[in-house]
């Protein structure tokens, strides 16, 4: 809602913040209500059009494309609503996909993998620690 303000870890305005746990439809509504400006045409210029530039940057990030490519596609067009609709759809797809993957995480398999990795790392760390202790004389070389 305030594109000139830096992002913060604390949510002062929940309507201006999209969380990864937000309902995708509600997140899309937040995008549609985002502040743009009254310039009348789309330009990637954070000084003159921070809201529009923010939309272009979000679109670039969600499409994994350079922001200049996205900006070129929208440059000079005059439909902020179309741009917001496009970004809203991208946000909706991204959140739907992310939340679906998260819901399908096998927590026990994840915990098992973490325990296996921890054991493997501990083994490497113990060997390294023993070498260091021997090198500084805290352990005998026969140990």
Burial 42-55 (b: 16+ CB within 10 A, else e): bbbeeeebbbbbbb
Which pLDDT does position 16 carry in this prediction? 80
pLDDT for the residue 141 = 73
> Which pLDDT belongs to residue 36?
85
Residue 143 is predicted with a pLDDT of: 58
Q: What is the pLDDT of residue 101?
A: 96
pLDDT of residue 108: 95
Q: Can you give the pLDDT of all 143 residues of the chain as single tens digits?
A: 566 565 555 556 677 889 999 999 999 999 999 988 888 899 999 999 999 999 999 999 999 999 999 999 999 998 999 999 999 999 999 999 999 999 999 999 999 999 999 999 999 999 999 999 999 988 887 75
User: CA-based diameter of the chain, in Å?
Assistant: 79
């Amino acid at each position: 809602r305030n594109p000139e303000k830096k992002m913060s870890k604390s949510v002062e305005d929940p309507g201006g913040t999209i969380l990864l746990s937000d309902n995708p439809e509600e997140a899309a509504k937040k995008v549609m209500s985002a502040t743009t400006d009254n310039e009348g045409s789309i330009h990637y210029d954070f000084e003159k059009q921070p809201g529009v530039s923010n939309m272009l940057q979000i679109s670039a990030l969600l499409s994994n494309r350079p922001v200049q490519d996205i900006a070129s596609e929208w440059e000079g067009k005059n439909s902020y609503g179309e741009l917001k609709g496009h970004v809203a759809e991208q946000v909706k797809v991204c959140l739907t996909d992310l939340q679906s993957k998260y819901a399908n995480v096998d927590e026990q398999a994840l915990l098992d993998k973490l325990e296996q990795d921890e054991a493997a790392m501990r083994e490497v760390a113990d060997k390294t620690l023993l070498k260091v202790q021997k090198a500084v004389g805290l352990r005998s070389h026969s140990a």
